[in-house]
Structure 1
Amino acid sequence: MSSTIQDNYKHNTQHATAQIQYFKNKVNVFSVMRLIVFALLLLLVYWSVKLDSFAVFAAGAIVAGIAFNWLVAKQAYFEKCRLYFENFKAVNQNELESIDSYGNIYPNGSKFNDDKHYYTSDLDVFGAASLYQLINRAATVAGQEKLAGWLKAPAVKTVILSRQQAVQEISTKNHWKLKVQSQLLFALKHNSNELQQLFKYLHKPLNIPGEGWLKTYVKVVAWIMLAAIAASYFYPEAKYVAIVLGLFNFFLTGINNKHTEQTDLIAGKIGSTLNSYSDVFDSIEKEEWSTAYNKNLADNVKRNNNKSISVVTRQLSNLINSLNNRNNLLVGFFLNVLALWNIRYVIAIEDWKRNNHENIESAFDVIAEFEALISLSSLQINYPEWCMPAIANGDEFTLVAKNVSHPHIKDGVRVSNSYELINTRKVDIITGSNMAGKSTFLRTLGINTVLALSGAPVCADVMEVSVVQLFSYMRIKDSLNESTSTFKAELDRLQMLLEAVKQQPNILFLIDEMLRGTNSVDKYLGSKAVIEKLISSNGVGLVATHDLQLAQLEQAYPTYVRNFYFDIQVINGEMLFDYKLKPGECKTFNASLLLERIGIFS
């Protein structure tokens, strides 16, 4: 593997560290400035009392409030920049850990585990040390579910090819990919139901009594108040106009407080979250896309009622954050007395809902889709020696892999193999010694097929595969909860396999040692009968076994059955494994040698 990408991640990490410190210093400076403005406000109160001037106090309070809000906004911006670079650093460090040790800060997909799925449990698609753990870069729940869906079922050929092109394009935009991951990293720790609650809220109007005249009143009341305050400097009686208006505003705020609380209950806690999502939409909208798949996704968020999704989501975020200024008791009191703040922004949010709620949910699905594509592209970027597989044509089955390896075995340790099944139907029987590599080879073909049919690159020099539905029979477990013995669990799985082959013409099965839960005679007879049943159903797949008698099926079905094997060499009493697939049946076994080593045989 080239070290260039790792050097890039290390450089990004160092740059992020420097930026984090820079913005920390900025935040500290503006925090001190806020304290200074607050101290000046206290001094202003003292002087206004001393001068007995309401106008001085009111004008000074307005100026101080504007200055304080500006400082708060600037400090929030610097804090946001600091957080972005902290996330950027974490994302780059995660890529380094993924390459070095398959570590990942993103979920490993254990919640998608399903022992009854056709293949995900046997092939370690989800859970600890899984394929999902290797590739997942989705921080949102929707993105995680989208990626899991792609790995749980093959897409149709046109979709696979489109995803491949999209993944390859994103892999050339690694900085954009890392930027979007950094912008979305907050979602890992966020309430997964927050967006769903927001979507429900957006479709539910508040129906504020007197909204029509209130909408007009809030537009003019602040200007009237400011005029009365300014006039009181020259005409002291004008202050009573400001006082009466202030009391009336306070009264209106109180009687409409239930609408404010209803809005705050759902929307009040999602303002900053929406602002983060609007940054992601902005990144998608501004990027230049050439592939049809990415271009179509980006087009879905570029316009909404003549405005981009990033703009309208940021509008809602700003409205909600403005409403949240009420939570500062002192500031909130002055804002409501002066400008009917709560009602102003509740009405503004209701207007936004009426104009923009229609396309928001589909826009968030675009983010989920991009997260799934970003996840697949991480393989293309981190492992440039992997290939993008061809998707085969033809009425029969094709599975060609040259120097294919398991993605979870380290480069330099892994042993690659090659395999060919070209537009035909075969049952391949693989015999071999214990620990010689039979099971790993089946999982290698299986896991790379899962990757190929999701649109991802594969751990091989060359691969071509038909759109098949995998079915595995490998790790059969008993179940105390279901009162199921191992043998009964095996029978259930075999029945599921036979039904699948009968009903779905594109099943590719991977079987590792059938009927382990019974005696050797029944095991052989049962396994032979199952294979013959699969042959009669035109089934296609691979069967790994220790039972050499099953290799004799090649003689009975010479045009349908092929034999392959993994073997060992014993030199000076030492067992040497080459883990290489060879045509024919195995002649060398190692069980007696292994038993001798632990003192069973002497």
Structure 2
Amino acid sequence: MEQDIINEYTRAGQLAGQQADKFKKLANTYSLLRLGLFALMIFAVYLTITQDTFTIMAIAFVLLLAGFAWLVSRQGEYERQRDYYLNLQRINENEISSLQSNANLYNNGQRFSNEKHFYTSDLDIFGNASLFQLINRTATSAGNNKLASWLDAPADKSTILFRQQAVKELATKNEWKKELQTLLLFAKDEDLNRLNNLFKYLQMPLNLSGERWLDIYAKIAPYLLIAAIIGAVFYPPVKGVAIFIALANMGIVFSKAAYIRKADLIADKIGKMLGSYANVFNKIESQDWHGAYNLSLAKKLKDDQTSIKIKELSKLIDKLNYHLNIIVGVLLNAFLLWDIRQIIAIENWKRTNSANLEVAFDVIAEFEALISIAVPSINYPEWVTPIISGTGGYTLTATNIAHPLIRSEKRVDNNYDLRDTFKIDIITGSNMAGKSTFLRTIGINTVLALSGANVCASAMELSVITIVSYMRIKDSLNESTSTFKAELDRLQMLLAAVVQEHRVFFLIDEMLRGTNSMDKYLGSKAVIEQLIAKKGVGMVATHDLQIARLEDKYPDYVRNYYFDIQVLNGEMLFDYKIKHGECKTFNASLLLKQIGIEVGAE
């Protein structure tokens, strides 16, 4: 099945590449035609000189300038189409890379890493070779933040169900999903602060002095100047009036230079960016949605005609940028007070439309996060939508559950059953037998499930729980913290979370490894008994068989599981399957023997 999906992405990528090549050739053709028109312009100048008539130049200038503008427009459109299909090809190739090696052109979420978080560090949620890297398809900074927030805390049941419904619909719209990603790919390398600066600018009034009168005068100024120029043709002394009006117009524009510079600080490259976002908004608005969540998001944009308004703002900012060409800027300002016209138009847009702009961009971030958690449904159709339980006790059951970051041909699945109850499961086993991986398998799939995504299992049902892990405990030279002190801090956090947080499910891997074996056993036993007293629920993986004896003392609360090995002709064989009971076979001496260290009997 995976190969069929890879083949589909390969076919789609090849088609996109072919389209990109077609538009590249068209753009190159129109570029050559522009050179041809330039050559004709030179030839017209030559004819004008040799024939000593300005008529040829006048006619040629009008016709060739119109033709040149049309060619520039067509070439620009073909270049945009070329870039679109090149990006679509990248999107398809990225899905192939993700399926084959978990590689991803999108951000891996390293900036969200936090070793003091309840579980994200222990469960590889962020960073290299992480869950975020596997599923992230968010190009915008806001989209990255949104997806990260969904993965570092469980949603409530109703939100999860809404997201599951949205994911199911998005899974049937993979082409739309890829097209939206393509339209947003430009944002992946955008300045993180550019949109925030735009929002601040749009919320801040320019307070242009004399705006009302300037607006009126800017509308009549071109007619005054044109009338003066026409008058000068018939009565030369009026030429001075025309020059005075042009200079006065330029003076008015220069007098408002400070206001124009304020707009310029934001306008640089923003117009093109907003034009790209307008296409994204239109893509969302024009799609036929049925799911309640997707419908509600798209409705926010449709009701406000967001794509039209953003396109309008994009054009206004682009027009303001015309003055960056000095010659064009002088002519436009002399005739039309161009810069003043544009900043007044932008101010009018701000007064009417800026209120809901941040909400509109948040819709994009929401869709980006949704298409990210839809990735497992699309790329791994054998994964399932988990059932979200509403039982009073803890429920976490799974059939054929496996670790999503391990390649399918290498991972081993297991079953687990905790149904509407309160239990602590002690998991014993040999080194490298699979205890830690199993804890992470349960944890990372729970994170996926409670974000609204599908899980790497054939069936799963769980309560809305808060994972708290105790696994990768490290010392810290910067904080002058020893391993044992770091373990105590983590234990304190876990014990407090069991009392203070909603429905904590803990994952503990080898408690108190930073102390001697007797303290380790006594301390671990005391911690587990305190967790039982607090009605804590979770798993404890340990090498210490004495801990398994807690099942004798608390038979209604503690359950024993184990991972074992088989030794055949001195070779260790692992099946990585969890079993009921406690482990009887350990492998440390065998592992030491393999590196030349004999362990003798006492």
TM normalised by structure 1 equals 0.94
Change (3 A) 1:17 1:241: farther
Residue deviations 1:16-59, cap 9 Å, x none? 21222222223333334444555666777888899999999899
Is contact 2:285-2:298 (8 Å) kept?
A: yes
Change (3 A) 1:464 1:588: same
Is contact 1:218-1:339 (8 Å) kept?
A: yes
Is contact 2:84-2:183 (8 Å) kept?
A: yes
Figure out how many residues of one structure are paired with residues of the other and give that number: 599
Cα offset, 1:227, TM superposition = 5.9
Q: In structure 2, how many angstroms separate the alpha carbons of the residues matched to 1:228 and 1:71?
A: 34
Residue deviations 1:507-529, cap 9 Å, x none? 00000000100111111111111
**Range with bigger deviation, 89-98 or 231-240:** 231-240
Change (3 A) 1:555 1:385: same
1:353 maps to a residue whose letter is K
Q: 2:401 — aligned with what?
A: 404
**Range with bigger deviation, 29-38 or 566-575:** 29-38
Change (3 A) 1:574 1:594: same
Q: 2:593 — aligned with what?
A: 596
For the pair 1:491 / 2:495, whether they are aligned, the reply is: no
Q: In structure 2, how many angstroms separate the alpha carbons of the residues matched to 1:280 and 1:458?
A: 29
Residue deviations 1:309-354, cap 9 Å, x none? 0000010101111111211222223222333222221221111111
- Residue 472 of structure 1 aligns to a residue in which SS? strand
Is contact 2:267-2:321 (8 Å) kept?
A: no
Q: In structure 1, how many angstroms separate the alpha carbons of the residues matched to 2:198 and 2:54?
A: 43
2:439 maps to a residue whose letter is L
Q: 1:112 — aligned with what?
A: 112
Cα offset, 1:261, TM superposition = 1.7
Residue deviations 1:484-513, cap 9 Å, x none? 100111011111111111223500000000
Q: 2:21 — aligned with what?
A: 21
- Residue 418 of structure 2 aligns to a residue in which SS? strand
2:330 maps to a residue whose letter is F
2:432 maps to a residue whose letter is M
Is contact 2:228-2:239 (8 Å) kept?
A: yes
- Residue 206 of structure 1 aligns to a residue in which SS? coil
- Residue 349 of structure 2 aligns to a residue in which SS? helix
Q: 1:555 — aligned with what?
A: 552
Q: 1:581 — aligned with what?
A: 578
2:563 paired residue among 555, 562, 566? 566
1:526 paired residue among 523, 527, 532? 523
Q: In structure 2, how many angstroms separate the alpha carbons of the residues matched to 1:260 and 1:181?
A: 35
Q: 1:268 — aligned with what?
A: 268
**Range with bigger deviation, 257-266 or 356-365:** 257-266
Q: 1:3 — aligned with what?
A: 3
Q: In structure 1, how many angstroms separate the alpha carbons of the residues matched to 2:39 and 2:337?
A: 26
- Residue 268 of structure 2 aligns to a residue in which SS? helix
Q: In structure 2, how many angstroms separate the alpha carbons of the residues matched to 1:286 and 1:444?
A: 39
Q: 2:438 — aligned with what?
A: 441
Q: After superposition, where does 1:145-544 map in structure 2 within 5 Å?
A: 145-223=145-223, 225=225, 242-304=242-304, 308-544=305-541
1:322 maps to a residue whose letter is K
Q: In structure 1, how many angstroms separate the alpha carbons of the residues matched to 2:384 and 2:343?
A: 54
**Range with bigger deviation, 78-87 or 216-225:** 216-225
1:415 maps to a residue whose letter is V
**Range with bigger deviation, 287-296 or 38-47:** 38-47
Q: In structure 1, how many angstroms separate the alpha carbons of the residues matched to 2:40 and 2:235?
A: 27
Q: In structure 1, how many angstroms separate the alpha carbons of the residues matched to 2:58 and 2:279?
A: 37
Q: In structure 1, how many angstroms separate the alpha carbons of the residues matched to 2:31 and 2:352?
A: 38
Is contact 2:390-2:463 (8 Å) kept?
A: yes
1:96 maps to a residue whose letter is I
Change (3 A) 1:237 1:21: farther
Cα offset, 1:251, TM superposition = 2.7
- Residue 424 of structure 1 aligns to a residue in which SS? coil
Is contact 2:45-2:57 (8 Å) kept?
A: yes
**Range with bigger deviation, 228-237 or 7-16:** 228-237
Q: In structure 1, how many angstroms separate the alpha carbons of the residues matched to 2:377 and 2:539?
A: 28
1:139 maps to a residue whose letter is A
Q: In structure 1, how many angstroms separate the alpha carbons of the residues matched to 2:82 and 2:465?
A: 47
Is contact 1:55-1:232 (8 Å) kept?
A: no
Structure 2: which 5+ runs fail to align?
Answer: none
Cα offset, 1:255, TM superposition = 2.2
Q: In structure 2, how many angstroms separate the alpha carbons of the residues matched to 1:117 and 1:56?
A: 77
For the pair 1:78 / 2:75, whether they are aligned, the reply is: no
Q: In structure 2, how many angstroms separate the alpha carbons of the residues matched to 1:139 and 1:229?
A: 53
**Range with bigger deviation, 274-283 or 11-20:** 11-20
**Range with bigger deviation, 491-500 or 445-454:** 491-500
Q: In structure 1, how many angstroms separate the alpha carbons of the residues matched to 2:3 and 2:237?
A: 78
Change (3 A) 1:529 1:395: same
Q: In structure 1, how many angstroms separate the alpha carbons of the residues matched to 2:471 and 2:440?
A: 9
Q: In structure 2, how many angstroms separate the alpha carbons of the residues matched to 1:56 and 1:202?
A: 49
Q: In structure 2, how many angstroms separate the alpha carbons of the residues matched to 1:34 and 1:221?
A: 35
Residue deviations 1:343-392, cap 9 Å, x none? 22122111111111111011000000000001011111000000000001
Residue deviations 1:390-447, cap 9 Å, x none? 0011111000000000001111211100000000000000001110000000000000
Is contact 1:55-1:233 (8 Å) kept?
A: no
Q: After superposition, where does 1:15-94 map in structure 2 within 5 Å?
A: 15-35=15-35, 68-94=68-94
- Residue 115 of structure 2 aligns to a residue in which SS? coil
**Range with bigger deviation, 355-364 or 18-27:** 18-27
Is contact 1:55-1:230 (8 Å) kept?
A: no
2:408 maps to a residue whose letter is D
2:564 maps to a residue whose letter is D
Cα offset, 1:242, TM superposition = 4.8
- Residue 132 of structure 2 aligns to a residue in which SS? helix
TM normalised by structure 2 equals 0.94
**Range with bigger deviation, 221-230 or 249-258:** 221-230
Cα offset, 1:85, TM superposition = 1.3
Q: In structure 2, how many angstroms separate the alpha carbons of the residues matched to 1:568 and 1:230?
A: 99
- Residue 30 of structure 1 aligns to a residue in which SS? helix
Cα offset, 1:222, TM superposition = 3.5
Cα offset, 1:181, TM superposition = 0.5
Change (3 A) 1:332 1:66: farther
Cα offset, 1:225, TM superposition = 4.7
1:181 maps to a residue whose letter is Q
Q: In structure 2, how many angstroms separate the alpha carbons of the residues matched to 1:238 and 1:61?
A: 27
Is contact 2:278-2:308 (8 Å) kept?
A: yes
Residue deviations 1:283-311, cap 9 Å, x none? 0000011111010000111122xxx1000
Is contact 1:568-1:576 (8 Å) kept?
A: yes
Q: In structure 2, how many angstroms separate the alpha carbons of the residues matched to 1:486 and 1:587?
A: 29
Is contact 2:108-2:126 (8 Å) kept?
A: yes
Residue deviations 1:85-129, cap 9 Å, x none? 121111111100000000001111010111110000000100110
Change (3 A) 1:333 1:36: farther
